[in-house]
Structure 1
Amino acid sequence: MVLLTFVDLDPELAALRALGGFFVLRTGLPPRGPLPTLAQAYAPPPPQASPGVYRDPLTFRVRKVARGLRAPESRVAASIAHQGLAARIWSVALGCAVLYGQLPDLGPRVLHWDPDAAAPDDLWLSEVRPGPSDPLESSLDAVVREGHLIPLTTALASRQRVSERLLWGNAGSALAATVRMVERWASAGGRPDAAERAGALAAGLFARPGLSGTLDPATGRRRSCCLYYRLPGGGLCGDCCFDHPPNRK
């Protein structure tokens, strides 16, 4: 029997630092000033607003990724931007579930996003307060899949020429990668309880709508492609559904 070890929520979510920078969630006031919430990012952009990051954060991020990676199509940049944000949300949420045994309030109305920044300065939580009191798997499903992934997928699919099936594949791939990172940390630090908890939570989440069927259970490989191979110099990801890069058209 593995003894589960948890710590209490703290105002800086300091325990997440042990897992690495990708898991860190900044708290307090961002040095650049107020940032849009993820709820604002998921919502349709207002018809009259200042241009740039505050008007349409998702489109801003996609264009930034497209420039940085020289993406030949906007859907490629949209897919990679989506996977990066989904991975960050999974990392923060699963990290809290594993180390704290509970989730703080990580809803899209209280989680702020800087689409011009890289991890861990992209996500900010102004105040750490308790989140859902449901069992952890149900809480993760409500907070991440329902609260973030569904509106994020809908928003990106409506703005860019990218399929929702591909985006859900990104979400599944990001969850699996997050679990692997937790497992490596747990193995190095002698925390089998953390690895067991992460794997069990992910197994339940992969049975939920949207995530179900995104990965082959026997191989862990995706059943859709993130389009990374279409970037200049891009190849196949480790969990790609393809054995060889398809011919570009």
Structure 2
Amino acid sequence: MIRISTSKPVSIFIILFLLTGCVSLTHKTAYPPSGEIGKAYAQRHEFVNLYLQGRFCEAKNQFEKSVRSFLMQDDFCSAAGNYMVFYNLKMYSDIKDAHLFDTAVKLKNLGGGCPDLEALLLCSGGDCSNGMNPKDAFYRKLLEERNFNKLLEAASGEEDRLYASVYLRKTARNALIQNRKLAEKFLKEAIGIDAAQGWVVFLCEDWSIMAGLASDPEEKERMLERVKMLSTVLQPCD
């Protein structure tokens, strides 16, 4: 039987040795962080992609994982950012979810204000006087100026496919008031992006707008049937 002397405290090294089950502690920590730590931003991006693909239950799961990962790190501001991302995703489809917005505000307040998020929250609420995301400001300025050619050029070269898709669709809605052909051009660009990404949620919107532009009743009906078929790909989450 091995006896441990009680004449002096047991070495902390021995305790760590027993906890880690290894001889050398040089390259390992006794208390490795959760595997979720560090994955929060990747989980946020995966949530966005899954949501736009219409895989709503999987998207919700990634969203909750990301929020949990941020909260485990005491990062309330980033957790609030997740709710703003979700809120804006729904707003892109003209769905205003007050619960998401209110939760973002609550987490922002618990996080001590989150100055980087403050202006975005105000802008999403309708008051953009204190500024907005620079990229949003750039595209919105082009929209307000009705500088459609420059906007198309910018969107075509935009690395962030989400921004490109959203603003191509916004521009199509603005352009169709005066120029149906130009609106179709923007929609075709958006459809190309959304199809490449598998973003069925946006494809349904693209073809719904396109159907509204169709002057031929048969062509319009064909496009609406296309939207119905695309909608069957969506995976609702009860």
TM-score by length of 1: 0.25
Higher relative contact order (CA 8 A, sep 6+): 1
Looking at CA atoms only, which structure, 1 or 2, has the larger radius of gyration? 2
1 or 2, which has the higher helix percentage? 2
TM-score by length of 2: 0.26
